[in-house]
Amino acid sequence: MQSHNREMKITDLDAIAAKVRSGARLSREDGIQLYEDAPLDVLRALANEVAERLNGKDVTYVVNRHINYSNLCKLDCFFCAFARTRKDEDGYEFSLDEMRERARDAVDAGASEIHMVGGLHPDYPYDWYPELLRTLRAEFPSLALKAFTAVELDYFKDLSGMSLREVITDLKNAGLGFVPGGGAEVLSDRIWKKLFRKKIPPTRWLAVHQAVHEAGLRSNATLLFGHIETTGEKVEHHLALRELQDRTGGFVSYIPLRFHPNNTVLSHIGIADSDATLREIAVGRLMLDNFRHVKAYWIMTGLDTGRLALSGGADDFDGTVVEEKITHMAGADTPEGLSEGDIRNLIRGEGKVPLRR
Ligand code: V47
């Protein structure tokens, strides 16, 4: 009986591979089977085929800097080690001048993009955020400003009294160039209720990204994996992203983020290992047939796993990243930055061609 089951699984996997090769869409059941039964080497090879069909051997990377403008936050999500309140000694907030100085350092170090996200700050008025964008755009006109997750954008709507559409247009006019993919966590009502109830719910995260795309901006999408989620919930997450992408075409990259439990309420659970992380990248690549790019965010995957992801479905490596706080406060032992030369060598080491974006 066991060998019969095994044969059936191999047949199913062949059928999934045939679907992938013919460009057919994978189903919920296919996704679950890939997570649960596919040998990792077969899965990685198939995901690599898809990545190369879409992007050739090119692996893009960015010379960037993450600047977390403040860790003060009105929420208290169970998976977060970053948020602080005014009562905490290590709460911080950067002024516009401090943001400008940090952006200046980034530009002097060759950065072409800055990624700015933060907690839901208790006191900054709405105007602080467009002012930040205007200040940086005026001083560094060629610097790409990627900022504010769907959670922050939704909060700005409440702060400003404007509609979501008005907020996004206002920020776009002030210089916002791209919206990062954070805050999605797992698009599941069960997990939302258990882990991040005060944050916007899954349907709202999707609605904000839809509004971002309708305003003519593009964005990324993340999945926070390796905590209490089930396989079925991860596949549902893929299906929800795929469905929105069918309608708007506004997502650029999909980024699986490996959960780091230290200093969080979930510190008792282990961290997803390298194989689980590589499986996540590969399944995401296969399920999200309408996403052009899958990103290895090495700060969270770990450097070796991030490198291996480049031959198993990922085609973008993020980035030079100095001063990252969200993962390091949750115990990440990766360095906070890499040089451009390091990144190019690492990409070549996986048989790919480095391309700065
Ligand atoms: O939304 C929070 C996650 C995200 C932890 O769009 C944690 O290009 C691990 O979204 N362990 C923010 N993860 C980071 C993010 C991102 C990063 C790089 C590139 C892009 C992009 C987006 O970090 C949050 C949350 O899902 N997070 N706490 C933690 N303990």
Q: What is the CATH number of the domain that holds 304?
A: 3.20.20.70
User: Ligand 1: which residues within 6 Å by Cβ?
Assistant: 79-81, 180-183, 185, 220, 222, 224, 255, 257, 259-260, 264, 297, 300, 318, 326-327, 330
Q: Is residue 164 part of a domain?
A: yes
Q: Is residue 326 part of a domain?
A: yes
Q: Is residue 167 part of a domain?
A: yes
pLDDT the model gives residue 7? 55
Ligand 1 mean position, distance from CA 339 (Å)? 21
Ligand 1 mean position, distance from CA 259 (Å)? 9
pLDDT the model gives residue 3? 45
- Enter the pTM of the model: 0.96
pLDDT the model gives residue 1? 39
Q: What parts of the chain have a pLDDT lower than 70?
A: 1-10
Instruction: Give CA–CA dist 15/186, Å, rounded.
Output: 28
Domain that holds residue 189: 57-356
Taking CA atoms only, the protein residue closest to ligand 1 atom 10 is 182
Ligand 1 mean position, distance from CA 223 (Å)? 8
Q: Is residue 13 part of a domain?
A: no
Q: What share of the chain is helix, strand, coil (3-state, %, to 5)?
A: 45, 15, 40
Domain count within the chain? 1
Ligand 1 mean position, distance from CA 293 (Å)? 17
Tell me the per-residue pLDDT of 97-117, one tens digit each, with 9 for 90 and over.
999 999 999 999 899 999 999
Q: Is residue 100 part of a domain?
A: yes
Q: Is residue 153 part of a domain?
A: yes
Q: Is residue 351 part of a domain?
A: yes
Q: How many CA atoms lie within 13 A of 215 on its CB side?
A: 24
Q: Is residue 182 part of a domain?
A: yes
Closest to 297 measured CA to CA, from 329, 269, 324: 324
